[in-house]
Amino acid sequence: MRPLIAHIDLDALRQNYRLACDCAPQSRSVAVVKADGYGHGALACARALEVHAPAFAVASLEEALVLRHGGIEAPIVLLEGIFSADELAAVDAYRLWMAVHSRWQLDALLAFTPDAPIPVWLKVDSGMHRLGFTPDEADRTWAMLREAPQAGELHLMSHLATADARHSEHYARQLACVHDLARRLGAPLSLANSPATLAHPDAHAAFNRPGVMLYGSDPLEKGNAVSASLAPVMTLCSAVIALRDIDPDEVVGYGGRFRTDRPTRIAVVAAGYGDGYDRHAADGTPVLVNGQRAPLAGKVSMDMLTVDVTDLDGVDIGSEVVLWGRATNGAVLSVDEVARHCDTISYTLLTGVLPRVPRRYHDSLRQPAPAP
DSSP state of 127: S
**From 38, 123, 254, 347, active-site residue:** 254
Rounded CA gap, 78 and 139, in Å? 22
Rounded CA gap, 56 and 51, in Å? 12
**From 34, 215, 299, 347, active-site residue:** 34
Backbone angles phi, psi at 179, to 5 degrees: -65, -40
CA 102 to chain centre: 25
Cβ pair 114, 92 in contact under 8 A: yes
CB atoms within 10 A of CB 103: 11
Cα 135 to Cα 17, 127, 206, 214: the distances in Å are 31, 10, 19, 30
Rounded CA gap, 6 and 10, in Å? 12
3-state secondary structure of 186: coil
Rounded CA gap, 37 and 39, in Å? 5
Backbone angles phi, psi at 175, to 5 degrees: -60, -45
Across the chain, which distance is largest between two alpha carbons, in Å? 78
Closest of 242, 238, 263 to residue 333, by C-alpha = 238
| Active-site residue, 34 included | yes
Catalytic residues, by residue number, are 34, 254
